Structure formats: structure tokens, C-alpha cells
């Protein structure tokens, strides 16, 4: 029997199917208790050493080399999510530990929330609701989504899904991506432009790129100064894409009208200056939190763990070179 250590907060909590799949495959599932949170690398390394799991089913907590080497039993790390920027992929590959994610399982959920942020910001839905609840009867004048320019930074699966949802509103759409898809641009009717042009011309900017060295703080103080003072920024990707201090200053000084933020550089973000601002919609990293997405993600994660521990090589293993070449490939 293999032991699975679950450090993800949400795996098995919203959708129990993941636990069921693991247990029916004969694996022993152990969860990191709430008394150990928040998790840092040193704390997780101690837990991994004690539990000696064969697989770690992880969330957003840091998984550097010291965690990966804490137990010689560890054969794989499965991310309960898509981005693996919190996992030392190079060290895992060197150690022969498989790393897998759950691609395309939360695309619709994140895209839906993005459009929700857009409408909430444009129509001042939260200030209007607070005002009405306070006994006032203020008429907030907003803007129509179809009358503005939307800038989509990143046209991967989630960025594309956002663009498709916007087609019904018919705004002008600008996009930036290092890898441009001309066929997609023609089909969906948007234009690829340089990032600076997108920031200068857009009324709403939404971020959908992975976190890596090239994208860390890509929305810097300098980039924020390019945006219109009437514009809004939405970040549902990774907190570290944006300079939070610079964004807070721009929002507080009138350099930017508003922001929708589902992710923070540090989570939970008790000390983030963004939490103090009334023109910020802040949510607790709920982009993937729909019942449909959580069930799909839990299923994909559990099935991948079962496959890898059985000696197979699913397509969503990200460092296939870390594993023996004679392993069978699973779809």
C-alpha cells in the first residue's frame, strides 16, 4: 500500500471523489492537519519526513529541494491546480520525482470569475450594494462592457476562454502574448499588440500568464503609469505578476480607477496594502472554486497519482525525463 500525503487545503474537501479514487486503488491517504498551517518549506519538510509518503498531493505551499529530499519514498508530486511555480521542478527532475499538474480543469471557472470582476468593476456593483444596505439610494453611473477596450495579457487556455466569453458583449479586444496565435486572433476578432500599447489603450486589463522569471512583477510601477486613470486591472493568475505596493499606490492616488484581485504575493494576505482600498475587489483565491471545477480537478489529480504509482506515465506529467524511458504511457 502506498501512502499519499495531502498538503492541499481543498483536495477532498469540496469534491470527495478524489479521496474515493485513491482509497479504492488501495492507497492510504493522510492529510496535513490544520494545526500545521500556514505551511512553510521547513514545516512541510518535517511532515514529509515523518509521514514518508510515496506521493505528495500539493496546493500552493512552497515545495523546494528540502521538501523533495525529506523522504526517500517520495516518487511524485501532484499539484492540485495548474501552475507549478511553487515546486522546484529542476530539483524534482534531478531526484527522479515526477511532477504533474491538472491542466484545463479550472479554465471555465477562472474565465467566469474574470468576466464577473469586469462587470462588477464597470458597474460599481459592490459599492452600490454597500450603499443600499446602508440605507442610501445612490445612483452609480457605470460603463458598458461592449463600449470599452479590454486588454487580455496571455492567450493560453484561460485567456482564450475569457476572449470567447467577451464575444457576446462585443468590446474591442487587444491581446499580448509572447507566442501569438494568428488563427485564433482572426477567428475571435482580436488584435495582438505590444504590452505597452495594450496598457495604454485598454480600459480593463486582465492577466492570464504563468509565473516565471520573465513575468514576475511584469506589471511594475512603470507599466502601471502607462494605464489610463479610468482603467481597471484584474489579476486572477498569480499575485507575483504585479508589484502590489505600486498597484496600491496607483489605486490610492487616482492613477488607476479600480482592481479585481483574486491572488496575492503572500496568501493569506493579511498585510497587503490592497486590502485597505475601497476601489479593490479582493477575493481569497477562489478562481477554481466551483463544484464542477473542483470535481474535475480532484478526479484528474487522483487518477494521475494512481497511474504514476502504478508505473504509468500520464500526459500531464511535466518532467517526463525524470522517469525511466521504458515506463508505459497512459492517456
Active site residues: 238, 267, 285
The Cβ of residue 282 has, within 10 Å, a number of other Cβ atoms equal to 16
Residues with Cβ < 8 Å from 130, sequence gap 6 or more?
none
Distance between CA 278 and CA 258 in Å, rounded? Answer: 9
Give the angle 117-193-189 at the CA atoms, nearest 5°. 70
Distance between CA 312 and CA 243 in Å, rounded? Answer: 41
Task: Tell me the three state secondary structure of residue 176.
Answer: strand
CA distances from 98 to 52, 92, 203, 321 (A): 16, 7, 42, 9
Q: Which residue is listed with cell 462588477?
A: 120
The Cβ of residue 141 has, within 10 Å, a number of other Cβ atoms equal to 6
The three cell numbers locating residue 323: 522517469
The three cell numbers locating residue 13: 474537501
Instruction: State the DSSP H helix or E strand holding residue 305, giving kind and residue range, or none if neither.
Output: helix 291-309
CB 80 within 8 A of CB 10: yes
Instruction: State the DSSP H helix or E strand holding residue 285, giving kind and residue range, or none if neither.
Output: none
Distance between CA 185 and CA 179 in Å, rounded? Answer: 12
Amino acid at each position: 500500500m502506498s501512502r499519499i500525503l495531502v498538503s492541499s487545503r481543498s483536495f477532498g474537501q469540496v469534491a470527495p471523489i478524489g479521496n474515493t479514487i485513491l482509497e479504492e486503488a488501495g492507497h492510504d491517504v493522510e492529510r496535513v492537519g490544520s494545526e500545521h498551517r500556514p505551511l512553510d518549506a521547513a514545516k512541510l519538510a518535517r511532515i514529509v519526513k515523518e509521514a514518508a509518503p510515496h506521493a505528495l498531493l500539493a496546493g500552493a505551499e512552497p515545495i523546494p529541494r528540502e521538501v523533495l529530499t525529506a523522504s526517500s519514498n517520495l516518487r511524485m508530486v501532484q499539484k492540485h491546480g495548474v501552475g507549478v511555480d511553487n515546486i522546484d521542478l529542476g530539483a524534482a527532475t534531478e531526484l527522479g520525482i515526477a511532477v504533474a499538474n491538472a491542466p484545463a480543469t479550472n479554465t471555465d471557472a477562472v474565465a467566469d470569475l474574470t468576466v464577473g470582476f469586469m462587470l462588477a468593476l464597470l458597474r460599481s456593483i459592490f459599492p452600490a450594494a454597500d450603499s443600499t444596505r446602508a440605507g442610501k439610494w445612490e445612483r452609480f453611473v457605470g460603463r458598458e462592457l461592449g463600449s470599452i477596450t479590454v486588454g487580455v495579457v496571455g492567450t493560453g487556455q484561460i485567456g482564450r476562454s475569457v476572449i470567447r466569453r467577451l464575444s457576446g458583449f462585443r468590446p474591442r479586444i487587444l491581446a499580448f502574448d509572447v507566442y501569438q496565435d494568428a488563427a485564433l486572433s482572426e477567428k475571435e476578432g482580436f488584435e495582438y499588440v505590444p504590452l505597452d500599447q495594450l496598457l495604454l489603450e485598454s480600459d480593463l486589463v486582465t492577466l492570464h500568464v504563468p509565473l516565471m522569471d520573465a513575468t514576475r512583477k511584469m506589471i511594475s510601477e512603470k507599466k502601471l503609469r502607462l494605464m489610463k486613470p479610468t482603467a481597471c486591472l484584474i489579476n486572477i493568475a498569480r499575485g507575483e505578476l504585479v508589484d502590489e505596493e505600486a498597484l496600491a499606490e496607483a489605486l490610492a492616488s487616482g492613477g488607476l480607477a479600480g482592481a479585481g484581485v483574486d491572488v496575492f504575493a503572500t496568501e493569506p494576505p493579511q498585510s497587503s496594502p490592497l486590502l485597505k482600498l475601497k476601489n479593490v475587489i479582493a477575493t481569497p483565491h477562489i478562481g477554481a472554486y466551483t463544484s464542477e471545477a473542483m470535481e474535475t480537478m480532484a478526479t484528474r489529480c487522483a487518477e494521475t497519482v494512481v497511474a504514476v504509482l502504478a508505473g504509468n506515465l500520464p500526459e500531464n506529467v511535466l518532467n517526463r525525463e525524470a522517469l525511466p524511458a521504458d515506463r508505459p504511457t497512459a492517456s
